[in-house]
């Protein structure tokens, strides 16, 4: 019997298919679940205020949002005065999370709440090991979306917050979660900062430096896109129709493919607005500057939305 000769690339590709088969089987059911409906119906998390500090009239609280599987930490900062203030509920990017609070200027007539991801492991979307991390990422993604929903509800109930002017902000990786939450639990508006849609394109772009062979990269990218399609804004953002959307992007962004940025924009209903900033994606050196520039834009947009309502 003669066995067909296999190239090393084909052997690697076959091994790759086998290696990802188990993660695919594990999360296929989760990927098919309607995430918007899940977040809409999920029991509320318990919210416990752990600490509150007051410095020069600025009140900052740390709270834990928990369920049977663990907790996600959140923060709420209120400016001096009685209010009621508009509020911005933020889910930052991979390495930011709740620390986004430190990047937003304090001297604003705005309540700011931030959240950590409900996941203790690696959140990065690049590297060939991504597919093996997907089961835990998909599981905890649902909990993060519910935590964002409940943080927004907690903020809206605060006596110094205008419940009719609570806005969601998703930055980079936070954008799919903000879109899901806006679709499941309507808010006054949605801000998408350097966001993306069409996850297969995003995965392919992120894997390009690590997986040079295109068939393998395409395979992995489509697996990743399939397993996270419930969170893809192409599916969730149209279900938030009626919610005003503000897009902040950069034409120099090399971290997010242009095609994914355009897919996010095309998924939104009117009213929607697009603002471009120079300098590329949110990196460690530019986080503070980007948040400051973006906050000024967001405040003007919030004021515009209020005048439109009036």
Name the CATH code of domain 10-199+225-309 (choices 3.20.20.140, 3.40.50.1820, 3.40.50.300, 3.65.10.10). Answer: 3.40.50.1820
Joined together, the tokens standing for residue 14 give 């076959």
Amino acid 4: pLDDT: 43
Q: What is each CA distance from 271 to 123, 276, 299, in whole angstroms?
A: 32, 17, 17
Tell me how far apart the alpha carbons of residues 231 and 27 are, in angstroms, rounded to a whole number: 13
Amino acid 6: pLDDT: 40
The pTM is what? 0.86
Burial class (CB in 10 A: 0-12, 13-18, 19+), 48: exposed
Contacts of 140 (CB under 8 A, 6+ apart): 117, 118, 119
Amino acid 125: pLDDT: 53
* Coil vs helix vs strand at 287: helix
Tell me how far apart the alpha carbons of residues 301 and 273 are, in angstroms, rounded to a whole number: 9
Amino acid 151: pLDDT: 98
Amino acid 309: pLDDT: 62
Amino acid 210: pLDDT: 85
* Coil vs helix vs strand at 198: coil
Tell me how far apart the alpha carbons of residues 63 and 53 are, in angstroms, rounded to a whole number: 12
Joined together, the tokens standing for residue 126 give 């690049």
Bridge partners (DSSP) listed for residue 88: 112, 167
Domain range summary for the chain, segments of one domain joined by +: 10-199+225-309
Amino acid 227: pLDDT: 83
pLDDT of the chain, 310 residues: tens digit per residue: 443 444 555 544 444 454 544 455 455 555 567 999 999 999 999 999 999 999 989 999 999 999 988 899 999 999 999 889 999 999 998 778 899 999 898 889 999 999 999 877 665 555 555 556 666 777 788 999 999 999 999 999 999 999 999 999 999 999 999 999 999 999 999 999 999 999 999 999 988 988 888 988 898 888 888 888 999 999 999 999 999 999 999 999 999 999 999 999 999 999 999 999 988 888 767 777 888 888 889 999 999 887 666 5
């Amino acid at each position: 019997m003669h066995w067909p000769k296999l190239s090393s690339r084909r052997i690697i590709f076959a091994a790759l298919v086998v290696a990802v088969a188990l993660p695919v089987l594990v999360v296929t059911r989760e990927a098919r679940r309607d995430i918007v409906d899940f977040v809409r119906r999920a029991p509320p998390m318990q919210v416990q205020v752990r600490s509150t500090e007051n410095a020069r009239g600025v009140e900052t609280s740390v709270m834990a949002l928990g369920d049977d599987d663990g907790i996600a930490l959140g923060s709420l900062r209120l400016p001096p005065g009685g209010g009621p203030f508009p509020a911005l509920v933020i889910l930052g990017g991979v390495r930011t999370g709740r620390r986004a609070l430190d990047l937003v200027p304090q001297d604003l007539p705005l309540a700011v709440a931030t959240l950590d991801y409900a996941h203790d492991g690696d959140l990065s979307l690049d590297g060939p090991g991504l597919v093996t991390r997907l089961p835990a990422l998909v599981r905890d993604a649902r909990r993060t979306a519910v935590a964002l929903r409940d943080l927004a509800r907690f903020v809206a109930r605060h006596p110094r917050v205008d419940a009719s002017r609570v806005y969601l902000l998703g930055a980079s990786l936070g954008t799919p979660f903000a879109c899901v939450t806006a679709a499941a639990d309507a808010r006054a508006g949605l801000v998408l900062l350097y966001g993306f849609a069409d996850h297969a394109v995003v995965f392919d772009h992120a894997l390009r430096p690590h997986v040079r062979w295109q068939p393998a990269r395409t395979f992995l990218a489509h697996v990743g896109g399939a397993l996270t399609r419930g969170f893809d804004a192409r599916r969730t953002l149209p279900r938030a129709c009626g919610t005003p959307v503000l897009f902040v992007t950069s034409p120099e962004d090399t971290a997010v493919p242009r095609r994914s940025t355009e897919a996010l924009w095309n998924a939104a209903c009117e009213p929607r607005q697009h603002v471009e900033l120079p300098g590329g994606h949110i990196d460690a050196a530019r986080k503070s500057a980007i948040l400051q520039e973006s906050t000024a834009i967001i405040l003007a947009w919030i004021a515009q939305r209020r005048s439109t309502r009036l």
